[in-house]
Structure 1
Amino acid sequence: MAYRNKTYICFDADEDMIYYQLMRAWKAKDGKEFQFHNAHDLFPMQNRKLDINDEIYIKRKLRERLLNTKCFIILVGQKTRNLYKYVRWEIQVALELDIPIVVVNLNKKNGIDRDLCPPIIRETLAIHIPYVRKAIVKGIDEWPSAHQRLKREGKTGPYYYEEFAQEN
């Protein structure tokens, strides 16, 4: 079994890349407070143009990244719930590997956004937080152990952090 210490960030690459890039900038600017080992830095894709026939290759590389993942973050934007080819597949693999899931609402809603959240994770054990730096730091730092504890207790369903309720 691989040593899991990475954070995997799942997002709509067509619509929400700016939010992913901002998280990388936070890390670059202040790596002490905003620490995460980015799973996307592992196993880089070949430096070649990918086409439709590369889906198997891409999914194999993504699975390799997920095998090293301690925390799975999904950035939920306006179109995320409708993405199946990669986003849903990534979520399914995270669930299969029992990786703690942090759902980050790009609209800054604290708690589950039933209109935008992908159906596959609406009722699963996950923390739903706003796209706010402090909330994301807390999710990365605290949710993996909380997830394991809640799972041992037989708990399921969506959770949120009370202190970010005023962020809405």
Structure 2
Amino acid sequence: MAYRTRTYIAGDWTGDSDLIGRLYEWNDGDYWGLHFNDAHELTQARDTSLNCSIKSSLRERLDCSKAFVLVVGESTLGLRAGSCAYCRDYGKYYQRCCRGRHADLRSYVEYECDYAAEHIEKIVVLYNYASVHREKCPEALRYEGLHLPAYRMNGDRTANWCYQDIKRAICG
């Protein structure tokens, strides 16, 4: 069993890159005071790897994580990347892996959320909105952990990041 000292960030890395990038910016900048050990620094999988190999790599990172942060945005529930149904070795007719491996039709995010719900105690769900929209959160975490918006709207219709709330949720 590995020591759980890392923070694992999951989400739609294309659609919600503004918020995910902001988390890393706060973590890398000494000014902000938000510091976490990123689980994604542990192991890397190539983009050409099989989905099951990538999920194995994800599991290694999750096993070393004490905190799981899910960024929820507009497309989170619709993500399908990582499903064996999209793998070249998945036999659609027989609905199984041609390599004899277990076929997992969950996306990477669904897999990460299911695993986190079972194995990680500290779960933070950040919504890339000014309010919480639980209906956009994967079901495994919909009522697990702490849910909070990433920013607040001001009276002049500008937004401010909820930095202190996010910092407390991740580091506190």
Tell me the TM-score normalised to structure 2 length. 0.71
Matched, 1:78 2:74: yes
Shift of 1:137: 0.8
Identical positions, percent: 33
Write out aligned runs for 1:14-163 (5 A).
14-30=14-30, 33-46=33-46, 49-50=47-48, 54-83=50-79, 84-109=106-131, 112-124=132-144, 126-131=145-150, 132-142=162-172
Secondary structure of 2:135's aligned partner: coil
Distance 1:108 1:32 in 2: 21
CA contact (8 A) 2:125 2:146 kept: yes
The answer (yes or no) to whether the contact 1:81–1:119 under 8 Å persists in 2 is: no
Change (3 A) 1:32 1:19: closer
Q: Assess if the C-alpha contact under 8 Å between 1:82 and 1:118 holds in 2.
A: no
State TM-score, norm by structure 1: 0.73
What is the RMSD computed on CA atoms of the aligned residues? 1.8
Alignment: residue pair count: 135
Larger Rg: 2
Tell me the distance in 2 between the aligned counterparts of 1:32 and 1:130: 19
Q: Which has the higher strand share?
A: 2
Pick the structure with more helix per residue: 1
Provide the residue aligned with 1:154 in structure 2: none
Gaps of 5+ in 2: 80-105, 151-161
User: What is the CA distance between 1:98 and its match in structure 2?
Assistant: 3.2
2:119 aligned partner, one-letter code: L
